[in-house]
Amino acid sequence: MKKIVLAVLVLMGANVFAAGYQSGWKVYEKPQAGVTYGGSEANPYGPGGSQSYGEGGGKSYGAGGGQSYGEGGGKSYGNGGGNSYGEGGGKNASNPWKVAD
């Protein structure tokens, strides 16, 4: 019985991290203008997808990728980066987004 309760709690906790508005690999805390939400990601392994290692992908170390320290990257402190407080950055209170993983 304890294992079942623990499994349910783990699953509930997993959904908390997925909360938000996902567009490509970026998860926004606020809905973005001109983006339709609902349903699941059509092709997470395709260009810009959350599971893609290609350009702009969530697992990519390349330009704009989720693991990138470059411009627009998920770990970047630069323009549009996940750790940036500047315009379009993940830590900017006016347009917050966060890296999904």
Residue ranges per domain, the chain? 21-31+40-101
pTM recorded for the entire structure? 0.59
CA distance 96 to 86: 11
Residue-wise pLDDT tens digits, 20-56: 788 877 888 888 777 777 767 778 888 888 888 988 8
What's the burial of 51, exposed, middle or buried (CB within 10 Å: 0-12/13-18/19+)?
middle
Residue 58 has pLDDT above 70, yes or no: yes
Q: Give the model's confidence band at 17: pLDDT under 50 very low, under 70 low, under 90 confident, else very high.
A: very low
Residue 9 has pLDDT above 80, yes or no: no
